[in-house]
């Protein structure tokens, strides 16, 4: 039976994974990690791999545990991993030796994009009557965003935009139609929740401080970071037990032909 990595699509025999303790532990670690963090983590591990040498299972496991220990907040960790991978790939430097860069990103991150949306939404509704136009638009977006991860991400970003009182922004009676336009424009390009949800949040985070007029979906798409590249995990060397088993099978096959 072959396992297929959902991130890099590498095939790997399940028997070999069971034989390697570090591989088993790494697969178990995936079950304890929020799904949206897994692809950025795999991409980040690729930064430690040299061009001529694969990343061993035990080192991949050690690095993964160290990364998770840096921050327990999935939103912070996810955003920091995406930002680190994007920045270091552009620099094309040597393989990483430690987590110092990621640690600095986490320390310098004032808040995640989710927290930014929450603060902006709170600012838009505080000190205003419940019947205010902005409050009504924010409520409409919250109802519009239910039941779909992409709607939820778009709705949260548009709520923050409404809270900024931008020029030309839709009113409470048309905000749902405007959100539909965004949904249609984004759904064909952003269709994998684990990979694309953090990219959308990062795009909105970059968009907020750059505009004074109500933006278009095209402006957001231009600011969304690229998807993490697929990273192939190293092919494990056969264990001594597997080697001996293969040798015995070869001998048995040879003897069957000589009889």
Checking if the pLDDT of 203 tops 70, the result is yes
| Structural contact between residues 57 and 234, judged by C-beta atoms closer than 8 angstroms | yes
Query: Could you give phi then psi for residue 246, rounded to 5 degrees?
Result: -65, -40
Strand ranges in the chain using DSSP code E only, listed in sequence order: 2-4, 11-13
pLDDT of 252 over the 90 cut: no
With cut-offs at 50, 70 and 90, classify the pLDDT of residue 191: confident
Alpha-carbon distance 3 to 16, whole Å?
10
Query: In the numeric block, which tokens belong to residue 244?
Result: 């001996």
57 and 95 Cβ atoms separated by less than 8 Å: no
- Residue closest to 77 by CA, chosen among 106, 39, 38, 48: 106
Statement: the pTM of the whole predicted model exceeds 0.75: no
What is the pLDDT, as a whole number, of residue 206? 92
């Amino acid at each position: 039976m072959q396992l297929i990595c959902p991130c890099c699509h590498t095939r790997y025999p399940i028997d070999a994974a069971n034989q390697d303790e570090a591989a088993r532990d790494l697969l178990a670690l995936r079950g304890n990690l929020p799904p949206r963090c897994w692809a950025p983590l795999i991409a980040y591990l690729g930064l430690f791999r040299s061009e001529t040498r694969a990343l061993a299972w035990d080192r991949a496991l050690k690095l993964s545990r160290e990364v998770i220990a840096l921050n327990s907040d999935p939103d912070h960790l996810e955003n920091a991993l995406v930002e680190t991978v994007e920045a270091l790939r552009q620099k094309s430097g040597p393989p990483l030796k430690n987590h110092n860069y990621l640690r600095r990103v986490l320390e310098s991150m004032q808040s995640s994009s989710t927290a930014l949306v929450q603060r902006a939404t709170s600012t838009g509704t505080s000190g205003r009557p419940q019947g205010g136009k902005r409050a009504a638009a924010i409520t409409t977006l919250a109802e519009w965003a239910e039941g779909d991860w992409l709607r939820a991400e778009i709705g949260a970003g548009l709520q923050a935009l409404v809270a900024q009182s931008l020029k030309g922004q839709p009113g409470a009676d048309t905000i749902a139609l405007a959100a539909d336009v965004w949904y249609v424009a984004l759904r064909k390009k952003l269709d994998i929740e684990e990979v694309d949800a953090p990219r959308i949040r990062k795009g909105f985070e970059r968009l907020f401080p750059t505009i004074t007029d109500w933006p278009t979906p095209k402006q957001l798409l231009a600011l969304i970071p690229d998807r993490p590249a697929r990273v192939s995990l190293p092919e494990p060397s056969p264990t001594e037990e597997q080697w001996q088993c293969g040798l015995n099978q070869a001998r048995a096959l040879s003897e069957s032909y000589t009889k």
